[in-house]
Amino acid sequence: MIAYLVPVGKHRFELYSEPLEESSEPQRGAGRLQRWFHQAGAQWHALVEQARRGVAISRLARWRDRVICRLAESIAEQRTLWALRGCSSVTLVAPTILEPDHARAILNAALAEARRHHGRWLVIDGSLFVGSVVFFFVPGPNIVAYYFLFRLVGHLQSWRGARDGLERVTWQVESNSTLSELATLVDVPKAARASRVAAIAARLNIPRLSAFFDRAAMPSS
């Protein structure tokens, strides 16, 4: 696996990767709980696709679609941590503006904070999901239950990834000058930097980097 320490602001870095999509098909002989998660996942993806089309008419439906889209983006951004689950070795590509030891220190601090953050929300969302069961009696898709279910699963996977990243993964740091170019673009307006960020993403072969950088970048002013 390859992960990138992306500069997103002054002295700020985010861990990023583009892991392969996992198959959502349950294995033959899967238990009832696994089949239920698969069915819930399929329904969730259908809801996300519908929300992204922006066809809602009522104010409540538009609010629901915005919540679904925000949650989908949050899940996508957690996939780097998810991909660390069970990994034995990972190459960390860091900008040349960081010494390898400094890059490792930033990585360890980020993983430790992620483990605390997702562990805390795992408890909170677990409790809220249990409370949302009452909405199963309401006709139609249980948006509330789906919301807390996927937050719960997401935080669990992220917590496990952060834990494995700290305790089990062997990290090898590689410096990359192309990645350092992003640090000079944080304060540049999105429209003006778009082509340069896209070129950097192409050179690094991580095509979704542009969208991530636009969301994560924190300008100085």
pLDDT at 169: 94
In sequence order, what DSSP letters do the residues of 124-178 get, joined into one string?
Answer: HHHHHHHHGGGGGGSSS--HHHHHHHHHHHHHHHHHHHHHHHHHTPEEEEEEEHH
Q: Is the pLDDT of residue 117 over 80?
A: yes
Q: Binning pLDDT at 50, 70 and 90, where does residue 99 land?
A: very high
* 3-state SS, residue 95: strand
Where is pLDDT greater, at 105 or 36? 105
pLDDT at 64: 78
Of 29-43, 51-65, 67-81, the range with the lowest mean pLDDT is 29-43
Q: Binning pLDDT at 50, 70 and 90, where does residue 166 land?
A: very high
CB atoms within 10 A of CB 158: 26
| pTM of this structure | 0.72
